[in-house]
Amino acid sequence: MKEIFLDSLFTFISNSISRLSFIILSIVTAKVLISEDFHSFTIMMSTLNMIVSSIGFAVGITIVKSAVEYHNNKTKKKEREYFSFIKLFIIGSLVVFIGVSFLYNLISELLFNGKVYFALAFLTLTILALYYTVSSYFLIGVKDFKSLSKYNLLIGTVFILSLLMVMYTDLSYNSLYTITLLLASFYFTGILLCVRKYAQLIPGFNRIEFKLHSTDENYFKKITLPAFLSNLVYAFTVWLQIIIVGYLLNDRNMASEVATGLIWFNALAFIPQTISTVILPRISSENKNKLKILKVGMLINVCSTCILISFLTLTKSQINELYSSQFEQLADLILIMSFASLPNACCKVTGQYFIASSKMNISLMFNSLWAIVYIFTNVILLKFGFGVFSVGYALIISYSILFFSQYVFIRVSETNELCNSN
């Protein structure tokens, strides 16, 4: 358990810096971009996060699961399956990216009010963010959390300092292009550092082979596909709400406020998510003490989340000042959302159980339940006049129900397995 705590501590510190950089990004863009560009930028980042959250996480946990099997059973067959899956993802994502690139005009019309630059920036940043997310899972798969933490600290700190220079330097028209370039550099540097380290750890990774071997279909059926669908349910639900507010209700400012609030919420949620991945390689190879490991993970996640909520409570007035040029109620919205991160932090841990037990279809069912409760609650609260705060209250209610239902299911499942084994 000491090893889990140390790995979680490294991950917590590094990802605090990494996610802080995106909070700083939202502050800087709110201050240096005109309202129209800022609204388009928030839509771009929200859409990017939707894609990366669904695809990147699905591929990432497949890599972690296959890495555990590969290192536990280093046969030629497992090696071919492992590296073929990685090659298939790289080649497949590039083919899709090239195909979608021809639709940049359509994307600019649908999402960015005809601004072609945002469509091109969105496509480029999405593929870089996707590779950055997946490459970080390479190191998680071999439990090299120290290297991953070190890289996140390095590029996160440089990114924050660069953003602060942009905010306090009068770049006027060039601000948007500078911020986009900084984002691209952030992702690209992370990719290079992770892949370079992974190539040192796994000699077979250095072999350049263009021939694809057959892979284990169970990876796709039991892990990748249901994980993709499960995370797509969440990401699409959140993204769709922003689009509905912005376009159907014709309130782009409210949509930007919701999107900015969700950046803070995702920063709070991302840290427990990353800490939870510390227990994934362990619980995947553990047969008896799963509940004990899950409880340790929940304790760590709740404690780290409480620290972050306390920080937000103390700095509420400062947050209001940072966004005063764009929003009036954002600090209150962020604080309400932060309380939703407590049940969310526990859900991040229970989610690892479904991954480790290859029960992603059940996880998809639970996420679908969450989406229904979230949307239904949101609509009711909006009708009762809660406005932008409807999002925060809906998150609290839906995640509380999700955690309770998942935990009950896990307790019953583990009790039944224990009875059957005896």
Helix (H) or strand (E) holding 50: helix 35-51
> 288 or 151, which is more confident?
151
Q: What local confidence, expressed as pLDDT, does residue 248 receive?
A: 58
Residues 6+ away with beta carbon under 8 Å from 216:
66, 81
The beta-carbon contacts of 315-324 under 8 Å, at least 24 apart in sequence, are 322/27, 322/30, 322/31, 323/27, 323/30, 323/260
> What is the pLDDT, as a whole number, of residue 125?
92
Q: How many C-beta atoms lie closer than 10 Å to residue 211's C-beta?
A: 7
Q: How far is CA 147 from CA 81, 248, 282, in A?
A: 25, 45, 18
pLDDT over 70 percentage in the chain: 73
pLDDT for residue 101 = 80
Q: Is 170 left (phi over 0), alpha (psi -120 to 50) or beta?
A: beta
Alpha helix stretches (DSSP H) within 142-174: 145-167
In eight-state DSSP terms, residue 422 is -
114 CB-side CA count, 13 A: 0
Dihedral of the CA atoms 228, 230, 232, 234 (nearest 10)? -150
Average pLDDT score, the chain: 77
Which pLDDT belongs to residue 145? 72
- Tell me the pLDDT band of 223, cut-offs 50, 70 and 90: low
Q: Which two tokens stand for residue 145?
A: 């959390």
Q: What is the pLDDT of residue 275?
A: 61
- Confidence tier at 222 by pLDDT (50, 70, 90): low
| Residue 178 token pair | 């500078």
Give yes or no for residue 398 having a pLDDT over 90. yes
CA distances from 323 to 152, 175, 202, 251 (A): 26, 17, 46, 18
Q: Which of 39, 379, 384 is nearest to 243 (CA)?
A: 39
Q: Which tops the pLDDT comparison, 157 or 352?
A: 157
- Please report the pLDDT score of residue 214 as a whole number: 46
CA 122, 124, 125, 130 dihedral sign is positive
Question: Between these two residues, 209 and 72, which has the higher pLDDT value?
Answer: 72
| Token reading at 96 | 């899709």
The whole-number pLDDT of residue 42 equals: 85
How far, CA to CA in Å, does 107 sit from each of 92, 114, 122, 359, 395? Answer: 21, 8, 9, 35, 29
- The pLDDT tens digits of the residues spanning 239-260 come to 777 776 666 566 777 778 888 8
Band (420; pLDDT cuts 50, 70, 90): low
CA-only gyration radius of the chain, Å: 21
- For residue 305, the SS3 value is helix
pLDDT per residue as tens digits for the range 273-287: 666 666 655 665 555
pLDDT at residue 186 is higher than 60: yes
Q: What is the model's pLDDT at position 211? A: 47
Please say if the pLDDT value at position 271 is more than 60. Answer: yes
Report whether 338 contacts 391 (CB < 8 A): no
Q: How far apart are CA 26 and CA 18, in angstroms?
A: 13
| pLDDT number for residue 69 | 66
* Greater model confidence, 102 or 332: 332
Q: What integer pLDDT is reported at residue 209 of this predicted model?
A: 47
φ, ψ (nearest 5 deg) of residue 249: -90, -5
Q: DSSP label at 203? A: G
Contact of 263 with 43, CB cutoff 8 Å: no
Q: Residue 191 and residue 158: Cα distance in Å, rounded? A: 15
Tokens read off for 328:
């009036």
What's the CA gap between 159 and 277, in Å, rounded?
24
pLDDT at 221: 62
- Residue 138: half-sphere exposure toward Cβ, Cα within 13 Å: 25
| pLDDT band with cut points at 50, 70 and 90 for residue 405 | very high
Given a cut of 90, whether residue 399 has pLDDT beyond it is yes
pLDDT digits (tens, 9 = 90+) for 372-393: 999 888 888 878 878 888 888 9
Q: What's the pTM value of the predicted model, to 2 decimals?
A: 0.72
pLDDT value of position 208: 43
Q: What is the pLDDT of residue 401?
A: 94
| Residue 17 token pair | 């810096």
pLDDT for residue 217 is more than 70: no
Distance CA 401, CA 241 (A): 20
Q: Which among 146, 135, 139, 140 is positioned nearest to 14, based on CA atoms?
A: 146
Of 29, 27, 19, 24, which is closest to residue 321 (Cα–Cα)? 27
Looking at the predicted structure, is the pLDDT value of residue 81 above 70? no
Q: What is the pLDDT of residues 139-149, one digit of tens each?
A: 777 777 777 77
SS3 152: helix
pLDDT at res. 412:
84
The pLDDT, as a whole number, for residue 8 is 64
> Closest Cα to residue 278, out of 197, 375, 198, 349?
349
Residue 79: what pLDDT? Answer: 60
State residue 74's pLDDT score. Answer: 60
| 398's tokens | 């839906």
**pLDDT value at residue 210:** 41
